[in-house]
Structure 1
Amino acid sequence: MAKLAFLGLGVMGYPMAAHLLRAGHDVTVYNRTTAKAEGWVAQHGGAFAATPRDAAEGCDFVLSCVGNDDDLRSVYTGPDGALAGMKAGAIVVDHTTVSATVTRDLAAEAEGAGIGWVDAPVSGGQAGAENGQLAIMCGGDAAHFAAAEPVVAAYSKATVHFGAVGAGQLTKMVNQICIAGLVQAMSEGLYFAMKAGLDPKAVADLVAQGAGGSWQLKNRAGTMVDNQFNHGFAVDWMRKDLGIALGQAKEIGVALPVTAIVDQFYSDVQQLGGGRWDTSSLIQRFRAMNGEL
């Protein structure tokens, strides 16, 4: 068992840190809102710290799941950042979905202090975090990955190493690109079914058994039909992720026409007040266009 710090107690980090504690690790948490860290300790045990540096002192691993590039820099750099408190030989495991650029920059800074870095964004959403069933895509030195894998096994159903630092973030971009196109296609198909007079849930159940099946269809079709979106991965965060993917695509000279279109469709959902709705709320565009909202 290891001495760990976990930085960031959002909808993903809160249950992930709890899984680590239940696995027997010595866990200290940090959250920008201290009251949330205090509440986590009251519920689960462990300890909390007032700064990332304090949380990271003496730890073998520092894990994080925060919001975006700027949030990640803020918890690792500066006099109160985690890197300032970490010992040589310790390893960062960052689960935040951020750009490959900030990942590589921070990893280089960590390397200068003798600290390893594994970028390890996740897929599976809030339910996956709560149930310990996340898919984790990793980049970093092979030895650092091998050391981190048994730790993240506390909340993983699949953990794969894809290459050097940044490879995990690039893989997560692929994940989000695929989801964006898939959810738009589902929205079109389900809305078509409704307007054609079919039972859309029955249609989705059948399609899910064939070549059109997917996790999204099995887990989101019913709530899309029922107009329920107060769950899952928020549109605001999806737009952040798609922006990262589109920026990376421009940098490497790859066209992502469908992703670019769906990103704009998500902007329409935001204009409907759906920034915190689940990503499956793309179907609301059709309802809005037909005066149903």
Structure 2
Amino acid sequence: MILTKLSRNVLNIQFSRYLSTSGIQSAELKVGIVGMGHVGTAVANNLLRKGFEVSAINDIIPDLCKGYPDSIKVVKTPAEVAQLSDVIVSGLPKPPHVKQVFEGPDGLLAGLGQGKIWIDHSTTDHEQNKVFTEKLTDKGAGLLECPITGGLEALKKGQMAVWVAGNKDDYLKVRNILEASYSTVQYTGGLGTAMIPKVLSNMLCGLQVIAMAEAMLIAKKSGLDLVEFWHSIRMSAGNSFLWETCGPNVFRGEYHDSFPIDLMCKDNQLGYEMARNAQVPLELFGLMQQIYNRALYSLGPDVGCYAPPKLYELEQKESLQAPGFENWSYTVENVDGALHVRHQNINLPNKSSK
């Protein structure tokens, strides 16, 4: 029987759906990782801790692939990772990096084949993802757009949240793999829908970072103890996930250095493009974007994404650092679908006695 290209594609999709419902478990799938930075490293450790098989890893910096069990193959190209794996996970800085990993004789596309699924945690251009998906469909493979939120410390503990967009059958096939690293997994629908809450969430965080800097400077210059003021807001209606986690970062003088401001400004620009396409004015978000750009130009691309408070500190000649947070860390709990912060290694206010 001679099959047309269309009929082959239909059979490929049907076969992929069969795999997702035929009793094959996620734990039996071989998982490869491209990009062993903060995200790739945390995902690899989470998968190994939960008993999944990590088949191969790759990074442009070979030293980042050291220290893993001998059973994990360190390979030279993304194509080799794809060839050795059923599921490929990536987390890369910007859209051009994702494109570079995908294309060419050494790229993911060259190694992806029937039934394989690519999970991309990068915050990237969803229009670019649509182009990738068209090429993957011809090979019977799939792409899941999976941006993440919640902070690096939460990801290390498997407590972060992830949005998932793409073919739902592909999502169901790899859901257990995602649950190894994320306490909250939300399927948002077709390709492109996961990037919208991810980018807008980051932009909302940007607004709160700037507001926090202004509030803290007002409080300190008015004579309040910074740490007491931070706790005062924690007990109020003004509290937020950002207030709980950004405050200690600033007290430590770190400014969330695991996520550079260069990437935050990239996300802001993605949000600007979304707003332009939707024909929605960006008044508050636009002001936030310009303040972040000013921090980027003044402090450099490698300073952490909580850098606006540092910019304000320099301009006001007033420090927002505070003692008592040298060993601070946090965990995240999923309470009714929302992320709640639990602090560790700091002095918390005493509970009122009965």
Task: Give TM-score, length-normalised by structure 1.
Answer: 0.93
Distance of 2:258 and 2:235 partners within structure 1: 23
Choose 133-142 or 202-211, whichever is displaced more. Answer: 202-211
Q: Is the 8 A contact 1:21 1:46 kept in 2?
A: no
Instruction: Give the CA deviation at 1:226.
Output: 5.0
Distance of 1:201 and 1:223 partners within structure 2: 12
Instruction: Give the CA deviation at 1:220.
Output: 2.1
Q: Deviations over 1:55-99 (max 9, x none)?
A: 111421111101111111111121111121122111111100101
Distance of 2:67 and 2:191 partners within structure 1: 31
Structure 2 equivalent of residue 32 of structure 1: 60
Structure 2 equivalent of residue 218 of structure 1: 244
Distance of 1:223 and 1:96 partners within structure 2: 23
The 3-state SS of whatever aligns with 2:140 is: coil
Structure with a larger share of its residues in helix:
1
The 3-state SS of whatever aligns with 2:106 is: coil
Instruction: Give the CA deviation at 1:276.
Output: 2.4
Distance of 2:115 and 2:163 partners within structure 1: 22
Instruction: Give the CA deviation at 1:182.
Output: 1.2
Distance of 2:217 and 2:61 partners within structure 1: 41
Distance of 1:213 and 1:279 partners within structure 2: 20
Q: Is the 8 A contact 2:144 2:166 kept in 1?
A: yes
- 1:162 and 2:207 aligned: no
Matches within 5 A, 1:48-197: 48-197=74-223
Q: How many residues align?
A: 291
Residues 196, 227 of structure 1: alpha-carbon distance in 2 compared, 3 angstrom cutoff: farther
Distance of 2:130 and 2:283 partners within structure 1: 27
Structure 1 equivalent of residue 345 of structure 2: none
The 3-state SS of whatever aligns with 2:190 is: coil
- 1:12 and 2:39 aligned: yes
Distance of 2:118 and 2:254 partners within structure 1: 37
- 1:41 and 2:68 aligned: yes
Q: Is the 8 A contact 1:132 1:156 kept in 2?
A: yes
Distance of 2:91 and 2:136 partners within structure 1: 17
Give, as a single letter, the amino acid of the residue that structure 2 aligns with 1:255: P
Q: What runs of 5+ residues in structure 1 fail to find an aligned partner?
A: none
Instruction: Give the CA deviation at 1:112.
Output: 1.9
Give, as a single letter, the amino acid of the residue that structure 2 aligns with 1:9: M
Distance of 1:17 and 1:244 partners within structure 2: 28
Distance of 2:127 and 2:98 partners within structure 1: 12
Q: Deviations over 1:148-191 (max 9, x none)?
A: 21111111010000110111111211211211111111111111
Choose 13-22 or 129-138, whichever is displaced more. Answer: 13-22
Task: Give TM-score, length-normalised by structure 2.
Answer: 0.78
Q: Is the 8 A contact 2:116 2:142 kept in 1?
A: yes
Distance of 2:43 and 2:263 partners within structure 1: 18
Choose 230-239 or 185-194, whichever is displaced more. Answer: 230-239
Greater gyration radius: 2
Q: Is the 8 A contact 1:94 1:121 kept in 2?
A: yes
Please identify runs of 4+ aligned residues in structure 1 that moved more than 6 A.
none
Q: Is the 8 A contact 1:59 1:87 kept in 2?
A: no
